[in-house]
Amino acid sequence: MREVVEKVDLAFEVNGDSVRLAVSPDATLAEALRDDLELNGTKTGCEEGECGACSVLLDGKVVNSCLVLALECGGKSVVTIEGLAREGRLHPMQEAFVNHGAIQCGYCSPGMIMTAYALRLENASPTEAEVRRALEGNLCRCTGYRKIIDAVLSLNNGESRHD
Amino acid sequence: MSAMKMYQAPRTLEEVMRAAGETGATIFAGGTDLMPRWSKEIVPRPAAVVDIKAIEGLSGIEVTDGEICIGACTLMSGLDESAALRRAAPILAEAASRIACPQIRNRATLGGNLCNASPAADTAVPLIALDAVVDVAAPGRAGATSREVSITDFFQGPGKTALEPGEVLTRVRFKRPAAVATWAWEKFGTRPAMEIAVASVGVIVEASDGVIERARVAYGSVAPTPLRGHGAEAALVGRRLTDETIGGCVAAARGEISPISDVRASAGYRREMVGVMLRRMLEDARGG
Amino acid sequence: MIKTSGDTGTVNKRGTDQESLIGGRIPKLDAPEKAVGLTRYLDDIKLPRMLYGKILYADRPHARVVDIDTSPAAAMYGVRAVITAADIELVRFGFGSDNTALKGEKVTCIRDEIAAVAADTPEIAGEAVKRIRVTYEDLPVVATIEEALASGAPVIHEGAPNNVPFRFDYDHGDIDEGVSQSDVIVEDTFSSQRVAHCCLGTSGLIAHFGPDGRLTLHSLTQVPFLYKHDLSRIVGVPPEKIRVIQPPIGGGFGSKLDVHPFEPICVFLARATGRPVRMVFTREEEFFATPTRQPMVIQLRSGAKRDGTFTFRDVRMTLDNGGRTSWGATTPWISMRTFSSLYRVPHVRQHVDVIYTNNIYACAFRGYGNPQATFALESQIDKLAHELGMDPLDIRLKNAQEPGETTGQGMVLGTCGLADCLKTAAHNAGWDVKHSGPQKPVGKSRRVRGLGMASLFHVGGGAKIYRSDGCGTILQIDDFGGVTVQTGASEIGQGSETVIAQIVAEELGLPIENIRVVNNDSDLKPWDVGVHASRTTFIAGNSALRAARQAKGKLLVAAAEKLNREPDELDLAKGNVVDRETGEPIESIGKVLRGMHFGRKNEMIQATEFYEPPSKMPDEGHKGDISACYAFGTHVAEVEVDLDTGVVRVLGISAAHDVGRVINQLGIEGQIEGGIAQGIGYTLTEEVKVEGGRVVNPSFTDYKLVTTHEVPELKLEFIETHDPAGPHGAKGVAEAPLVPVAPAIANAVYNATGVRMTDLPLTPERVLAKLNESREAERGATDG
């Protein structure tokens, strides 16, 4: 178990806001987000980097927040699922997931959406093969992935496969 | 009962070595292998970790005419996405690109993949085929000294490396393969992604007028360490890639590996897959 | 407030471009909240002063408990309670009454719960359970069915001295007659593995006693009312003092149909501490301490006449029950429906032996015992076709039932789209071209391709396994046309909430946004048997439809009175009372409602309905019309097999399902696609591996779920048979798509390679071994 250890100051940016926290040296980024900042949209499904439910962006790159120490994030910028919607409107990626039926139980959805969002930051018009590869580390047990892949592809040229 | 009480991210190697030497801090880079081991209590959570990612000069890929030099903290995604590495040593970029998934590739480092000394380490196999050496920084009286260790000597057993306490792997270097060299690397697993190799094989051959002049063969997940295939190499050098040569090479490979049976595959199947992968690579190399 | 801008053309909502909501592509109502990360799952919920619970498992398969010393744990700072079997009343529960919350005398599998701790933090609780000292006297481990049945085998439970706690028998017709009518008879043994539900959200519970002694549970259960009843007996709280709140869950798939030991344990910890206690499993616990799909060994003998007419099926099933009993032991009840009723067959016999071992045990999992049975049966039907020189499609069509037939088990097939499913799936897969002829390697490679088919039979209108299979609805309309539907049905991610809202909105002529569905609190919602047996769209849909019809009737009467018209001249559409003939809007529904409420009569519209389907409980011989309708489907799989490695890749699946009627196109596609993906995992990669009673791959690293790469090309088609019993003609569909995947793939492997795989999963290693075996046999034949 973890003894009571002295917490350490951490200053970083979360969803565009400056945040100061005191965290245990062994706290993960996922724990800091969920427990300290109540950003519970970031889910934990395995805590060993195998399921992708905790995916967030760290300085623009998608990572498993369960495999990042919170203290590593000092001075860095983190974006979570709560950081995508603007002024009460869903981000187009979130909207695509909703409208394509890419969400069932929803537990994988935040991580899935963040990973897809990260893909499109680097590749505005990914092919289906690129989408599959980008999402290969995000497990979903409900949808069978088809609608998730379709949702991401639908943002290419703003079109949907089903149109 | 263990608790991590300290996290440090120094900017110099000297500070790292001091921390590692004096307080027994665990050297930490991508954390993708260490952190699950801590949480599953496969290894105790260390009292202190020293993060080496902020140290200057430990990240990046330098490709010159003669040599390729890669910092220990270079990410797998960095290897995958480096156009220069793709040109100069595609076998390594390819192996890096097939590790786990983007989230892991954005965190896992080359040095970490090697220092974990897993028999299945995906980058070890191409690095053996590339005759790589690693630079190790050691604490010395007048600051850090450096020693060079060949990649094959670096792996001592499952989870065991040639690193002494306080030492830090800083760089990986290898000669740029000849432009004429053909290469292949493949890993076998149940799924296309998120796989720890059941077996992997890497091959680099250089031929002149159809006769193989130089060959390097390496295997992963079929011995206590990633393994160089001396026997398979010997079966190739000085020969043409005939069916007979390929058969001889495959037989040599099957003979020099020592796979085990575990939850992922049986020893027999691993041996079989090494043979299949090697045969297919050589047949592809022949172009027939 | 989050709103979708609805800019995509794939979404049809009432009042936009489509008249009816039924059959539309309606996004799930709960999806926007899930998409932005605001949905609060169990592990996101913290109650004031909440403690964290943790269980100590035996971690040995078979042993006597000699002594438990909890003092080192109890002495830890932050530990608020430590309990063992000695601290609770040991009430037996589970289908075999062979389980208790904590085990005090004997351990019969590694996951047996020995002690539990409630502490201030999860870390303290985790450390505390490790400090509990248990002295065991190990007993010989019974790791296999064979060991359990050997003479002199250790007895696992005293109630079953031969280690056979249950036997089930079923028959119709006369097997001997069937045998004598047969021109060809085939016999095989099939085996299937343990697989895990792998819900992305792990198991858990929050238990909390109020000062009045009322117990509130934040539970993931799929069956809140049965759960309340069962748990009540185990923890000694009257059912009327238990409230079950169901937060959104990270997947169900049948895993939450039983009371699992951790649940009463969590309640006992809450009682011991007087504080709320939350228990959430780690992924590792989820793998070894929750039940799996039931593994089965099925010996199947079946026959056919020369023209392909099926004659008989003789089934012998052996189940490794593990060390305790959950629903796994009863899965043959569903297997037998497939053996008796998938295609027409006059003579069927099924014998089942359920065997105790010291392995982990099984519970319900999507499809119950159907995937196992269908794997065996549809593989063997393929073999019969081969023996008779018939096309596998033709032999199936020859025996497919027609609407109106009653099966040998007494199930009445009012509507039956089986023949259509077969033809459609085959046509869409290019069966005629791709299936026939010897399969050739692809290009110069060592890979060959093949096609295989399999169908399914499943309940589609609930399953009356309890005396009631009903569901209640309470519907209220506010002054503005806002509707609150309290339904007994539970939402587990499958989209029942949306389907219910669609049905109600359609009936009341209101936009779907006006409908609020309340479905997660046993204090508010009427009774329902639970989410199982693919029953929710059918049963809860019918219940909601009837409640909405009542409400509509009241509205039309009030409107008619106000407008001096007859009720049957009026209808509701697009938020208005309209002229039934012309569709002309006359008055807004809101205005009529306010007129009722604030006018002379001071009335509001409330409607209640308890819908009980017209199905019957099976008799002692398991016969009877258990469901109000039945679902059918056919899958055709195309595979590519690597002859050197044994790797099977699924290239495509063509699926045709008799779903009665599509209510939500988007939702039903999601169910089929998800079921197929689970089916591919079941067929190719997934297995909870147990050695000597221990789970050796309790992580996603070595338990291989399919990833994005393995999803093949899918061609889905829905056969709409418009079942008169279903809401708008719909049948249930949730479990169906998983069921025929394994035999379709295995039959395709046969078509590609000539090798018939009888053991799941079809791992590369296993396929290669079979390929090598057959090559050697061929070589032997040539040499000889």
Q: State the nearest Cα–Cα gap between C358 and chain B, in angstroms.
A: 20
Please indicate whether, in this complex, the C-beta atoms of B36 and A61 are within 8 angstroms of each other: no
Q: How far apart are CA B128 and CA B217, in angstroms?
A: 8
Which ranges constitute the DSSP H helices of chain A? 29-31, 92-99, 109-122, 128-134, 146-154
What is the extent of the structural domain holding C573?
470-611
Confirm if A9 and A27 have CB atoms less than 8 A apart: no
Question: Which among B44, B54, B71, B57 has a CA at the least distance from the CA of B19?
Answer: B54
Residue C783 pLDDT? 66
Tokens of B186: 């493949």
Question: Which among C633, C728, C639, C519 has a CA at the least distance from the CA of C23?
Answer: C728
Q: Which of A24, A68, A137 sits opposite B100 (nearest CB)?
A: A137
pLDDT tens digits, one per residue of C699-746: 999 999 999 999 999 999 999 999 999 999 999 999 999 999 999 999
- Residue B113 pLDDT class (50, 70, 90 cuts): very high
The chain C residue lying nearest A104, using CA atoms, is C493
- Residue B287 pLDDT class (50, 70, 90 cuts): confident
- Say if residue C276 is in the same domain as residue C418: no
- Say if residue A12 is in the same domain as residue A78: yes
Q: Which residues of C touch A142 (CB under 8 A)?
A: 251, 493, 670, 674
Q: Which of C5, C123, C248 sits opposite A95 (nearest CB)?
A: C5
Percentage of the residues of chain C whose pLDDT score is greater than 90: 95
- The one-character DSSP state at C544 is H
In a domain, A3, yes or no: no
Strand order in the sheet with C133-138: C106-107, C63-69, C133-138
pLDDT tens digits, one per residue of C738-770: 999 999 999 999 999 999 999 999 999 999 999
A4 pLDDT higher than 90: no
- Say if residue C778 is in the same domain as residue C656: yes
Residue after which a domain boundary falls, among C611, C646, C662: C611
Q: With b meaning 16 or more CB within 10 Å and e meaning fewer, what string describes C469-494?
A: bbbbbbbbbbeebebbbbbbbbbbbb
Confirm if C190 and C376 have CB atoms less than 8 A apart: yes
Handedness of CA C587, C588, C589, C593 (dihedral sign): negative
C24 pLDDT higher than 90: yes
In a domain, A163, yes or no: no
In a domain, A120, yes or no: yes
Arithmetic mean of pLDDT over chain B? 94
Q: Which residues of C touch A139 (CB under 8 A)?
A: 198, 200, 700, 705, 707
Please indicate whether, in this complex, the C-beta atoms of C764 and B1 are within 8 angstroms of each other: no
In C396-525 the beta strands, taken as DSSP E runs, fall at 447-459, 471-477, 483-487, 515-518
Cis peptide before C761 (omega within 30 of 0): yes
Q: Which residues of B touch A24 (CB under 8 A)?
A: 4
Residue after which a domain boundary falls, among A30, A50, A83: A83
The partner residues of C245 in beta bridges, in order of sequence, read C218, C521
Chain B contact for C763, CB < 8 A? yes
The partner residues of C473 in beta bridges, in order of sequence, read C487, C609
CB atoms inside a 10 Å sphere around CB C679? 29
- Say if residue C628 is in the same domain as residue C599: no
Which residues, 6+ apart, have CB-to-CB distance to C782 below 8 Å?
none
- Say if residue C722 is in the same domain as residue C641: yes
What subunits make at least 3 CB pairs under 8 angstroms with A? B, C
- The one-character DSSP state at C470 is -
- Say if residue A34 is in the same domain as residue A60: yes
Tokens of C742: 């394994």
- Say if residue C369 is in the same domain as residue C430: yes
Residue after which a domain boundary falls, among A53, A83, A113: A83
Q: Which residues of C touch B188 (CB under 8 A)?
A: 645
| pTM of the shown model | 0.97
- Residue B172 pLDDT class (50, 70, 90 cuts): very high
Residue after which a domain boundary falls, among C269, C288, C307: C288
Chain C contact for A160, CB < 8 A? yes
Chain B contact for A24, CB < 8 A? yes
- Say if residue C405 is in the same domain as residue C362: yes
Q: State the nearest Cα–Cα gap between C284 and chain A, in angstroms.
A: 8
Interface test with C, best of A105, A117, A133, A152 (most C CBs within 10 A): A105
Q: Which of C199, C667, C675 sits opposite A101 (nearest CB)?
A: C667
In a domain, A2, yes or no: no
Q: How far apart are CA C143 and CA C326, in angstroms?
A: 18
Q: State the nearest Cα–Cα gap between A92 and chain C, in angstroms.
A: 9
In a domain, C156, yes or no: no
Chain C contact for B2, CB < 8 A? no
What is the extent of the structural domain holding A151?
92-157
The CATH number linked to A127 is 1.10.150.120
Question: Which among C739, C438, C35 has a CA at the least distance from the CA of A93?
Answer: C35
Tokens of C172: 């119709």
Q: Which of A2, A39, A95 sits opposite C123 (nearest CB)?
A: A2
- Say if residue C673 is in the same domain as residue C580: no
What subunits make at least 3 CB pairs under 8 angstroms with C? A, B
- Say if residue C547 is in the same domain as residue C662: no
- Say if residue A119 is in the same domain as residue A145: yes
In a domain, C161, yes or no: no
Q: Give the mean pLDDT of C209-236.
A: 97
- Say if residue A34 is in the same domain as residue A68: yes
Total count of domains within chain C:
3
- Residue A158 pLDDT class (50, 70, 90 cuts): low
Please indicate whether, in this complex, the C-beta atoms of B4 and A26 are within 8 angstroms of each other: yes
Percentage of the residues of chain C whose pLDDT score is greater than 70: 97
- Say if residue C758 is in the same domain as residue C649: yes
Q: State the nearest Cα–Cα gap between B281 and chain A, in angstroms.
A: 24
In a domain, A162, yes or no: no
Total count of domains within chain A:
2
Q: In angstroms, how far is the first alpha carbon of chain C from the final one?
A: 79
Please indicate whether, in this complex, the C-beta atoms of B263 and C689 are within 8 angstroms of each other: yes
The CATH number linked to C360 is 3.30.365.10
Residue B142 pLDDT? 65
Q: State the nearest Cα–Cα gap between A19 and chain B, in angstroms.
A: 19
Interface of B with C in 16-45 (CB under 8 A): 40
Residue A2 pLDDT? 47
Residue A1 pLDDT? 46
Give me Rg for the CA atoms of chain C: 28
More confident residue, B17 or B111: B111
Q: State the nearest Cα–Cα gap between A129 and chain C, in angstroms.
A: 8
The partner residues of B139 in beta bridges, in order of sequence, read B144
Tokens of C23: 């059959």
- Residue C1 pLDDT class (50, 70, 90 cuts): very low
* One-character DSSP codes across C718-769: EE----TTSGGG----SSGGGTTHHHHHHHHHHHHHS----BSS--HHHHHH
Assign C167 to helix, strand or coil. Answer: strand
Please indicate whether, in this complex, the C-beta atoms of C707 and B194 are within 8 angstroms of each other: yes
Which phi and psi (to 5°) does residue C23 adopt?
90, 0
How far from chain centre, in Å, is Cα A42?
6
- The one-character DSSP state at A83 is G
- Say if residue A100 is in the same domain as residue A46: no
Q: How far apart are CA B251 and CA B274, in angstroms?
A: 10
Question: Which among C2, C31, C28 has a CA at the least distance from the CA of C497?
Answer: C28
Q: Which residues of A touch C201 (CB under 8 A)?
A: 43, 45, 105, 107
Please indicate whether, in this complex, the C-beta atoms of C704 and B193 are within 8 angstroms of each other: no
B94 pLDDT higher than 50: yes
- Say if residue C408 is in the same domain as residue C509: no
- Say if residue A33 is in the same domain as residue A63: yes
- Say if residue C421 is in the same domain as residue C488: no
Q: State the nearest Cα–Cα gap between C645 and chain B, in angstroms.
A: 7
The CATH number linked to C100 is 3.90.1170.50
Write the ipTM: 0.96
- Residue B165 burial (C-beta neighbours within 10 Å; 0-12, 13-18, 19+): exposed
Q: Which of B1, B191, B269 sits opposite C685 (nearest CB)?
A: B191
- Residue C439 pLDDT class (50, 70, 90 cuts): low
- Say if residue A124 is in the same domain as residue A101: yes
Q: Which residues of A touch B40 (CB under 8 A)?
A: 48
Residue after which a domain boundary falls, among C573, C593, C611: C611
Q: How far apart are CA C617 and CA C625, in angstroms?
A: 7
